[in-house]
Amino acid sequence: MKQILGRLVSWSNFYAFMWRQIKIYLFFWAVLCLFRLFFIVWMHQYISPMASGYDIGTALWIGLRISCKSAGWLTLFSFSGSILANVFSPRREMAVYKLFNGISIVVLSILYVARFPYYQQFHSSFNQLMFNTLNEDVYALLVSLVKEFDLPVRLSGAFLLAFLLYRLFNQWLAGQPLQLKIAFPLAKWFGRAAFLVLLYFGVTLAQFGGSLGWANEVDWENAGVTKDSFLNEAILDDVQAVWRGYRLNSRLEACSGMDFDVEQIRALAAQLTHKEAAVDNLDEYLQKKAHGPLVTKPQQIFIIVSASYANWPLLEKYKDLHIADGMKGIMAESDSDYCSTFLPNGPSTVSALTGIVTGFANANLYLTTMPEAYASPYSTASAPQLAKLGYKTNFWYAGPSTWERIGDFTTAQGYEHFYSRADFAEGAPGSVWGCDDKYLYEAVLNGVSPDQPSFNVILSVSNHSPFTVDTAQEGFDKNSVIQALPEDAKKDEALVNQLGHYWYADKMQADFIHAAKAKYPDSLFIIIGDHADRYNIAKSPSMYERYGIPFIVTGKNVKKGMLPPDAAGSQIDVVPTLLEMIAPKDFTYYSLGTSLTRGNKQGVNYAFWITHDYIGKTEVSHFVPEPIGNAAPPIDDKALRDYIDAIESISWWRAKYGPVLDGNLAAK
């Protein structure tokens, strides 16, 4: 190690070594970008007629940025080979680093040649399906690859490509480092400092996908920013596509199952639904009949799932902050009602997504990665049930369609139309997660026809780190909020910025509701947060203030008291509440959750439970309730445990194995 450090301490040696790494980086970056360009040109027939030159340019630009990260990984692999050689055999350092780079070139060539038939077969770049190979009949798979996909010819082409790239690589590296001939000593040190600064920026660009920080980082989850699915896939180079497949497969494997057998699930389902435990079809337990509409059937329905929209700013004790005045104004109107004891489906946005779209709890499943979720909509899925009532179903997401496969997932679960950032105003400002709320709501207002009944789920992102909205320009009174904060929080700039983004999200959705009510008088709105637990004023907030989200309903014919004063619930109860408000009597629907209008008094999620008076943790042997308001009689531990077990076990089994309770299914 001392010898290595001794060689690198010399500026000339260090400069030559790092110059070589820079050239390796530039080589791989250029190759990945050229690969992408040729792929788009060769496969141009897959570009939809709706795509424009702007979309193609965007795909090339975002792809160029994300390939900074891939080139960085490949350079790091080369760098590690050089370090290993210097440790164990310094004389073979040159041969080892050429070997490591040769491996990278061969792998890249094979992946690139395979990319074309893979896309033709699956209409996707590499994904988690490639990791299912070991579960297949390998011999049959090889025969299929040889007969149908000309494996020998393609492999030969890949090795020829690798040979040509390797020759080019060696010629590229054969050039001498750029010589910095500077006469004056001070200028020489300035030149060295400039080189180190440029090196730092290069490493940063590689780390954050063509950005100087994670706030604008391009990652495989947010790279799909065009309105064309082919171009979104082309943005990912093969390194990023394989990484995506690995990450999705890892999430899928993390769904290891739950410790319930079919007899337990049958008994829990019967107890939950007050039906006899005499059938082996879960859908018979989940089937419900609507009790009759509570409001005139609305023409337009909007469920707003607002990023990080916690309940605590709506509480009276925080009124002086004035960051929730928009929705407080909506709630004060005569056509609004509010449930203050409500839980998210889980700790992340994807949990809320699955809860609203499928109706299942967050129970050891990563539904957006599961093949079963793409086969057909679940019986409890929201879109098909609203479609039966005559509604056109739309999902509006402020971010890219590739995040969590949200576009594919929602359409697989029955949504007729999916809209993402690529469908909104070109160049609309936003963060790495999506466009600012203003432009999302503007797109919804312009995109919903007054003449066509529609059911719309809107998922916003502005109230989410990295918090990039210019809230001052939007009218946020920062000084007023600071004055209302406790002394120990007044100088917390990060907290003030976060509160400003809550204010912005609150204002934008209130403005949207007012505008939509004017444009669509016969409309109904449900507003919830996707989750809380992101920031609080108190350093040690109560469990209720930390995790609770609001449930707000407003619209024509909504009345105060429509939600019982002791109502409580979670996101799996949103759609059944909606259906019980609007569906005709005896309309058949399926849900795991229960309508808040029908006396639902408890909500559960991945780790917590809530009632009107208490909140507590689920993963404990004995519940320790934390009071929310005035004390109430103690909770029934057994009844609550049975409810939690029923919600989790049914969500797990029905999503993974289907409606039939057959122990042999789980044994496969």
Does residue 272 lie in a domain region? Answer: no
Q: Are residues 324 and 235 in the same domain?
A: no
The verdict on 446 and 497 lying in the same domain is yes
The pLDDT assigned to 255 comes to 54
**What pLDDT does residue 346 have?**
87
Q: Between 430 and 381, whose confidence is greater? A: 381
Higher-confidence residue of 624 and 241: namely 241
Strand partners, 304: 458, 527
Domain ranges, residue 63: 2-177+221-250
Averaged pLDDT, 639-649: 91
Is residue 184 domain-resident?
no
Based on the domain organization, do 161 and 238 belong to the same domain? Answer: yes
3-state SS assignment for residue 376: coil
CA distance 421 to 520: 24
Say yes or no: 658 and 516 in one domain. Answer: yes
Same domain, yes or no, for 305 and 170?
no
Residue 586 lies in a domain: yes
pLDDT at 231: 93
- pLDDT the model gives residue 147: 58
H runs (alpha helix) in 254-381: 262-273, 282-286, 325-332, 349-358, 372-375
Residue 208 resides in a domain: no
| pLDDT score, position 253 | 64
Secondary structure element (H or E) that encloses residue 575, with its range: helix 574-582
- pLDDT above 60: residue 180: no
- Domain co-membership, 165 together with 305: no
Higher pLDDT, 186 or 49: 49
Residues of the chain above pLDDT 90, percent = 57
- Residue 192 resides in a domain: no
Span of 95-109, 116-130, 393-407, 563-577 with lowest mean pLDDT:
116-130
| Confidence class for position 425, pLDDT limits 50, 70, 90 | confident
Q: What is the pLDDT of residue 566?
A: 92
375 and 242: one domain? no
Whichever domain contains 525, its CATH number is: 3.40.720.10
Q: For 2-34, write each residue's pLDDT tens digit.
A: 554 455 455 566 666 777 888 889 999 999 999
* CB 105, CB 35: distance < 8 Å: no
DSSP state of 176: P
Lowest mean pLDDT among 28-32, 46-50, 387-391: 46-50
Of residues 417 and 154, more confidence is placed in 417
Judge whether 525 and 513 are in contact, CB under 8 Å. yes
Residue type for position 608:
F
Per-residue pLDDT averaged across 92-113, rounded?
A: 86
Helix axes 238-253, 53-88, angle to 10 degrees: 80
The residue ranking higher by pLDDT, 504 or 467, is 504
List all residues 6 or more positions away from 385 whose beta carbon is below 8 Å from its beta carbon: 575, 579, 589, 590
284 within some domain: no
Best mean pLDDT range from 98-102, 123-127, 600-604? 600-604
What's the confidence (pLDDT) of residue 285?
A: 96
At 251 the pLDDT is 65
Residue 458 has φ and ψ, to the nearest 5°, of -120, 120
Q: In this structure, are strands 603-604 and 608-610 parallel, antiparallel, or unpaired?
A: antiparallel
641, pLDDT greater than 50: yes
Total Cβ atoms within 10 A of residue 100: 20
The total of structural domains in the chain comes to 2
Residue 299 pLDDT class (50, 70, 90 cuts):
very high
Query: Averaged over 388-412, what is the pLDDT?
Result: 95
Q: Compare 605 and 304 and report the one with higher pLDDT.
A: 304
pLDDT of residue 651: 94
Q: Which residue has the tokens 């061969």?
A: 106
Q: What is the mean pLDDT of residues 231-235?
A: 92
**pLDDT score of 668 more than 50:** yes
Overall average pLDDT of the 521-541 stretch: 90
Of the listed ranges 289-303, 600-614, 618-632, the one predicted with least confidence: 618-632
Pairing assessment for the beta strands 614-617 and 626-627 based on DSSP bridges: antiparallel
Q: Which residues contact 313 (CB under 8 A, 6 or more apart)?
A: 321, 323, 324, 499, 502, 506
Cα–Cα nearest to 127, from 349, 316, 505, 408? 408
Assigned domain for 276 exists? no
Q: Which residue has the tokens 């432009």?
A: 439
Task: Please report the pLDDT score of residue 227 as a whole number.
Answer: 81
Please give the pLDDT value at position 140.
47
Together in a domain, 240 and 299:
no
Contact 342, 549 (CB under 8 A): yes
240 and 326 housed in the same domain: no
247 pLDDT tier (thresholds 50, 70, 90):
confident
Q: Are residues 239 and 331 in the same domain?
A: no
Structural domain contains residue 648: yes
pLDDT of residue 131: 66
Closest CA to 397 of 578, 214, 225: 225
Are 524 and 655 in a shared domain?
yes
- Those residues whose C-beta lies under 8 Å from the C-beta of residue 421, and which sit 6 or more positions away, are 225, 397, 398, 399, 400, 428, 430, 434, 435
- CA gap 181, 424 in Å, rounded: 52
Mark whether 246 and 296 lie in a shared domain: no
pLDDT at position 188 over 90: no
pLDDT digits (tens, 9 = 90+) for 334-386: 999 999 999 999 888 999 999 999 999 987 778 988 889 999 999 999 999 99
Give the tokens for residue 428: 């609309």
